Copies of this chain bind each other. A is one copy, B any other.
Amino acid sequence: MDRRTVIRSLVVSANKLGRIAALSTGNTTPAAVWRTLSILRSEGPMRIGELAAASRVSQPGMTRLIAQLAQEELIARIADSDDARAWQVRLAAKGEAALAAWQEQLGAALEPLFDGLGAEDWRALERAADVLDRRTRAPKEAAA
């Protein structure tokens, strides 16, 4: 398998996983929500614009998403002390709980698929998860 085949295969399969989970749990929450909350959890509070870039949605998209999430109290907006135009967005306790609950749902829905997998396979999945996580973080904007 060459690298591009690996990449395509991962993207397609993971995409299926998402569909399988969404369908079997009946969870209709958009993926963008979990992406965004996950980012906030692993990278800490950040501005709306930064978050939009990290979650790969447009800035208006993130503004709207943030508005919804704030209404549900999954996140909190705190004024940026350096710039009155900007907000710092941080994960709220309720958001952390929601994320954990989703992880459980997801696990319950998908673990059966991985039934009977050997330790070597799990090690590969874990390592892959780790690599992908590290490599898909927002680039820290090298100055042009």
Contacts and interface: CB of A to CB of B under 8 A. Distances in A.
* A interface residue count range (under 10 / 10 to 19 / 20 to 34 / 35 or more): 35 or more
Contacts of A17: 7, 10-11, 14, 132, 136
B15 A31 contact: yes
A124 interface: yes
A1 B23 CA distance: 26
A12 B133 CA distance: 8
Going nearest first, the 10 A-B pairs with the smallest beta carbon separation are A14-B14, A4-B107, A128-B128, A13-B132, A19-B56, A124-B127, A9-B129, A16-B136, A8-B103, A124-B124
25 contacts: A1-B126, A1-B129, A1-B130, A4-B107, A5-B103, A6-B126, A7-B103, A8-B102, A9-B130, A10-B14, A10-B128, A11-B106, A11-B110, A13-B14, A13-B133, A14-B15, A14-B132, A15-B15, A15-B31, A16-B136, A120-B127, A121-B127, A124-B128, A125-B128, A125-B132
